[in-house]
Amino acid sequence: MLANPGRARSFAHGLGQLAKSDRLDARALARYAANPELKLRDLPDAETRNLRELCARRDELVEMLVAEQNRLEHASAAVKGEINGHIDFLRKRIKHADHDIDQAVKRSAVWREKSELLRSVPGVGKVLCASLRDPQPNPRACGPCGQRAATDPALTNDTVALP
């Protein structure tokens, strides 16, 4: 069993245990593990972990792209060329990340089926589908999936962002 250390410590605090020692920690962890409200989850399989990493990397690239586009608005002529070059590079990397995600989905029977189901909904395009199927969306990178799709520079004509 894996436990989030912060949650386990908060649980101990909730029990009134403020002191910290190996013996006290062991007792608190035993009570935490015995808690019937504790929800056990299976660890994700290798395909899901891989897809999660690819989606997280794509989100990071989109964040960098948005930052560079914002920087470009206030840049002097001396650095605009450098920033534009980086923007072009990031757009290529995002396309490459999209391709890698698509390939990972095609290789996985489970994720391929989920993707086909999502794409069968009218108005759901490639980017929104990727946002919705992201196994663990990064809360820093986006709000609700529709917001991420609405601000994503890789939107295509077949994609509709939800409000």
Residues 147 and 71 in one domain: yes
Shortest CA distance to 62 belongs to which of 160, 162, 138, 158? 138
Residue 159 belongs to some domain of the structure:
no
> Is the confidence at residue 68, as pLDDT, over 90?
yes
Higher pLDDT, 35 or 70: 70
Residue 29 belongs to some domain of the structure:
yes
Residue 110 belongs to some domain of the structure:
yes
Higher pLDDT, 15 or 89: 89
Give the pLDDT of residue 16: 85
The Cβ of residue 90 has, within 10 Å, a number of other Cβ atoms equal to: 20
> Is the confidence at residue 47, as pLDDT, over 70?
yes
Answer whether 83's CB lies under 8 Å from 73's CB.
Answer: no
Provide the whole-model pTM: 0.61
Higher pLDDT, 67 or 20: 67
Residues 72 and 100 in one domain: yes
Q: How many domains does the chain have?
A: 2
> d(Cα 81, Cα 22) in Å, to the nearest integer?
58
Q: Which domain holds residue 18?
A: 5-34
Residues 16 and 63 in one domain: no
Residue 131 belongs to some domain of the structure:
yes
Residues 81 and 16 in one domain: no
Residues 30 and 54 in one domain: no
Q: Mean pLDDT over residues 107-134, rounded?
A: 79
Residue 123 belongs to some domain of the structure:
yes
Q: Mean pLDDT over residues 53-66, rounded?
A: 94
